[in-house]
Amino acid sequence: MATAAATAPRTITERASRGIWRDALRRLLRNGPALVGLAFIGLFLFMALLAPFLTPYDPLAGVPQRVNAVPGPGTPGHLLGLDLLGRDELTRIVYGARISLIVSVGSMLMGLALGGTIGAIAGAAGGLTDNIMMRAVDVLLAIPGILLAIGVVTWLGRGLPQIMLAVAATNAPIFARILRGSLLANREQDYVVAARSIGASRIRILFRHLLPNSLTAVMVAGTLALATAIIDVAGLGFLGLGPADPRTAEWGTMLTDSTSYLRNAPYLIFFPGVAIVISAIGFNLLGDGLRESLDPRLKR
Amino acid sequence: MTLLQVDDLVVRFRTRDGTIHAVNGVTFDLEEGERLGLVGESGCGKSVTNLAIMRLLPRPAGHLEGGKVVFDGVDLARLSESDMRDIRGRDVAMIFQDPMTSLNPVLTIEEQMVETIRAHRKVTKDAARARAVELLTMVGIPRPASRLKDFPHQFSGGMRQRVMIAIALALEPKLLIADEPTTALDVTIQAQVLDLLMNLTTEQGTALILITHDLGVVAGMTQRINVMYAGFIVETASTPELFEAPSHPYTVGLLHSIPRIDAIEGEELVPIEGRPPDMRRAPSGCPFAPRCAWRLDVCWTDNPELRPVDPSARVVATGATATHRIACHNPPTAAERDAGRPLGDRYHPAPPPPGMLDELMSARVGASNGTGESPDGGPSDGGPYDGGPVGSDWPESASVSPAPSASGLPIDPTDGGARG
């Protein structure tokens, strides 16, 4: 009898959903554009994670073709045709997703670690520390992202880790700024004063109260950073600052390699371009959707 | 025994727009287990006084500029931050106005309660959890063990305030400061929460400072009341005495501006005209003078001290027998406090001295920045701060104007009632 009495009201509580995360997820799944974004990202992840199982071809090796007779899209066995070196275009796009995923996620995490630390210290310390750190961040923000990335890659040399670091360097100041702003905004909230009024220490307030409440803003920024990272990586590749091995299937590098043959094989530009656009749009849509579903002020 | 002695507390806020004189020398004592009400309108410094006691003034603007806060023999104003942290929660706790925002939205009630208990007491998680369940039961939350796992947004406002009370009382503090604890709550819940607060503090022998702008709330709950205005205590008395014989013009005004169940039928409400002074001006003279119908010439220049209403009385600072004291040069008579306005030939409040007029004007211009009100002329809706007398026909000399209604002061009950 005791259990019966306990279960009846309990289901009501549970139906009211537990936690802000579930609420946010529910709102996200009702958001059309965000679902489209999720679908794009799903396709992107599917290609990146399962690349070797999706195609029988080697993305790196092939038989060079004659410039005016490259087998185009629809060639039997090659849905998107071959490139000039006789490599299957679809295979290269699929493997390219892999590079994009690794570099964008890696650079996002590196940027988050770097920028998050700076932002957390600045936001928690305040005063002179805050001022010095934020002015440094301002300087970095004043430099256009792609220029900063080019600088880092030319300084450190070509290669995937270098590219990650370069893109991370463009994202870190943004993360720092967002986290600091969010910390400052939360610091004035009643619950922080309430926590102080019961004797919570500064460290405790920072880690238990401020950071968790600032997480949503950072999550949104992180998702959007993935989109810019994909574009930045492709941009670097297009400028010849891609992976160290020039054969690597990387979308930006594929674009550069094909520009000279635009007349003979325009699809070699078209498909990598579409891949870049779709994955970047996917993360942008998801980021916007997350912002809407996590922002309590936009609650519907 | 005296638990808390606040002595000449001065708090200033340094802002870009100038210095805010938030608390200007507040002195009061509190006995162990005593319940004190702190009453005044918004911005009168009642919350700031208590944030200063807790040393929780907003940084970097808020400064405790002077005075002592002796709690249990220790001057909190001079304590190091880490010692102060030990006292917060354990010896002094606070309940805030808005229960919807004073709990961390991303932590469960359990996490927040256990955290508080373990911050001050070396107990295991299980022991802290057991204590949390006990506390929730105490504040009347049904099914406390399962509700512990819930997040703040799953509680109603009244329930959240109960949780706040449970957290505040978790360590059986000696002093509980409740800053407008029921203002954000539904009227039907208010009484419940106040009863709970009353019962628990009585049971635990916790002293209570109840901050409110609602005289109805303090009436039933406190033994003593301090009335604050513009950062000063203008009247202090035991609760029955304050309601029986309010003696400061401001208190009289407050009591006449709220409807009373025992009012004589047809009695009009008398609003207090004007608005609180611009706190950026360093106080000179009585802060209430610009709105006061009883003011004398001296009120503009000399700020009266808190003195016993009965000059022969020996001053008792605390408890139910506390001496009734006011800071006023020209207190209303018994008949006047019943009427809520000056009677007989005491109709003519003194105009400000010539020099002060300019000062008031300039303060007014600064204060009305962006409100779209013109400082001279414009529709007058009240006292000197609202442009009426300043822009109209108030003589510059100190001679008394024979046209009292032009001053916009609450001398015509019908007029005042219509507006109130």
Phi, then psi, of B278 in degrees rounded to 5: -70, 115
Residue B170 CB-half CA count within 13 A: 34
For Cα atoms A119, A125, A131, give the angle at the middle one, nearest 5 degrees.
70
Annotate A210-268 with DSSP letters as a single string: IHHHHHHHHHHHHHHHHHHHHHHHHHHHHTT-S-SSTTS--HHHHHHHHHTTTTT-THH
Tokens linked to A118: 């700076």
Written in H, E and C, the secondary structure of B240-265 is HHHHHCCCCHHHHHHHHCCCCCCCCC
Report residue B214's pLDDT band, with 50, 70 and 90 as the boundaries.
Answer: confident
In the three-class reduction of DSSP (H, G, I as helix; E, B as strand; rest coil), residue A287 is classed as helix
Report residue A144's pLDDT band, with 50, 70 and 90 as the boundaries.
Answer: confident
Residue B100 CB-half CA count within 13 A: 6
Query: What is the share, in percent, of chain B residues with pLDDT greater than 90?
Result: 10
Q: Across residues B327-355, what is the average pLDDT? A: 77
Mean pLDDT for all residues in chain A: 82
List the one residue out of B183, B182, B211, B184 whose CA is nearest residue B196: B182
Instruction: Find the range with the poorest average confidence among A45-54, B84-93, B388-397.
Output: B388-397
Q: Write out pLDDT tens, residues B235-287.
A: 999 998 888 888 898 998 888 887 776 666 666 777 777 777 778 877 788 88
Report residue B234's pLDDT band, with 50, 70 and 90 as the boundaries.
Answer: very high
CB distance from B419 to chain A under 8 Å?
A: no
**Tokens 């205005």 -> residue:** B229
pLDDT of residue B278: 79
Q: Is the per-residue pLDDT at B300 higher than 90? A: no
From residue B382, give the alpha-carbon distance in Å to each of A165, B270, B369: 66, 12, 18
Instruction: Name the residue with higher pLDDT: B264 or A126.
Output: A126
pLDDT of residue B70: 92
- Give the number of A-B residue pairs with CB atoms closer than 8 Å: 87
Instruction: Name the residue with higher pLDDT: B288 or B371.
Output: B288
pLDDT of residue B355: 67
Q: Is the per-residue pLDDT at B374 higher than 80? A: no
From residue A236, give the alpha-carbon distance in Å to each of A48, A162, A164, A183, B392: 20, 11, 11, 33, 73
CB distance from B80 to chain A under 8 Å?
A: no
Within 8 A by CB and 6+ apart from B224, the residues are B34, B35, B36, B37, B236, B237, B238, B239, B318, B319, B320, B322
Report residue B207's pLDDT band, with 50, 70 and 90 as the boundaries.
Answer: very high
Q: Is the per-residue pLDDT at A216 higher than 90? A: no
Q: Across residues B303-319, what is the average pLDDT? A: 81
Q: Please, which residues 115-144 of chain B have a Cβ atom closer than 8 Å to chain A?
A: 115-116, 119-120, 143
Sheet strands side by side (includes B35-39): B92-95, B175-179, B207-212, B35-39, B224-229, B232-238, B325-326, B307-308
Tokens linked to A165: 């670091």
Within 8 A by CB and 6+ apart from B325, the residues are B235, B236, B237, B306, B307, B308, B309, B315
Q: Across residues B119-128, what is the average pLDDT? A: 88
Q: Which helix (H) or strand (E) holds B24?
A: strand B18-31
d(CA A75, CA B295): 100
Instruction: Find the range with the poorest average confidence among A4-13, A21-30, B33-42.
Output: A4-13
Residue A155 CB-half CA count within 13 A: 9
Mean pLDDT for all residues in chain B: 79
Q: Write out pLDDT tens, residues A184-193.
A: 888 888 888 8
Nearest-10 Cα torsion for A237, A241, A246, A252: 0
From residue B359, give the alpha-carbon distance in Å to each of B351, B354, B385: 14, 9, 11
Query: Is the separation of the CB atoms in A73 and A80 below 8 Å?
Result: yes
Within 8 A by CB and 6+ apart from A157, the residues are A244
CB distance from A157 to chain B under 8 Å?
A: no
pLDDT of residue B133: 92
> Between A16, A127, A201, which is nearest B85 by CB?
A201
Q: Across residues B9-27, what is the average pLDDT? A: 88
Q: Is the per-residue pLDDT at B209 higher than 90? A: yes
Q: Write out pLDDT tens, residues A31-65.
A: 888 889 889 888 888 888 887 887 787 777 777 77
Query: What is the share, in percent, of chain B residues with pLDDT greater than 70?
Result: 81
Report residue B399's pLDDT band, with 50, 70 and 90 as the boundaries.
Answer: very low
If one counts every other C-beta atom within 10 angstroms of the C-beta of residue B145, the result is: 14
Q: Which helix (H) or strand (E) holds A282?
A: helix A267-294
pLDDT of residue A113: 92
CA distance B370 to chain A (A): 25
List the one residue out of B235, B198, B230, B6 whose CA is nearest residue B95: B198
pLDDT of residue B363: 54
pLDDT of residue A145: 83
Within 8 A by CB and 6+ apart from B331, the residues are B247, B248, B249, B294, B309
d(CA B126, CA B40): 43
d(CA B290, CA B303): 12
**Considering all CA atoms of chain A, what is the largest pairwise distance in Å, rounded to the nearest integer?**
84
pLDDT of residue B362: 58
Q: Is the per-residue pLDDT at B181 higher than 60? A: yes
pLDDT of residue A135: 92
Q: Is the per-residue pLDDT at B384 higher than 50? A: no
pLDDT of residue B390: 39
Nearest-10 Cα torsion for A91, A97, A99, A102: -150
Query: Is the separation of the CB atoms in B173 and B206 below 8 Å?
Result: yes
Q: Across residues B62-71, what is the average pLDDT? A: 87
Report residue A217's pLDDT band, with 50, 70 and 90 as the boundaries.
Answer: confident
CB distance from A208 to chain B under 8 Å?
A: yes
Instruction: Name the residue with higher pLDDT: B235 or B337.
Output: B235
List the one residue out of A224, A219, A229 whose CA is nearest residue A276: A229
pLDDT of residue A245: 79
Inspect the interface and report whether the beta carbons of A197 and B58 lie closer than 8 Å. Answer: no
> Between A13, A18, A198, which is nearest B116 by CB?
A198
List the one residue out of B188, B279, B286, B197 whose CA is nearest residue B235: B286
Q: Please, which residues 11-30 of chain A have a Cβ atom closer than 8 Å to chain B?
A: 13, 16, 18-20
Inspect the interface and report whether the beta carbons of A9 and B115 lie closer than 8 Å. Answer: no
Query: Is the separation of the CB atoms in A205 and A186 below 8 Å?
Result: no
Inspect the interface and report whether the beta carbons of B150 and A13 lie closer than 8 Å. Answer: yes
pLDDT of residue B386: 39
Q: Which residues of B touch A213 (CB under 8 A)?
A: 104-106
d(CA A109, CA A105): 6
Q: Across residues A146-168, what is the average pLDDT? A: 87
Q: Is the per-residue pLDDT at B176 higher than 90? A: yes
* Encoded amino acid at A50, one letter: L
Q: Which residues of B touch A194 (CB under 8 A)?
A: 94, 96, 102-103, 164
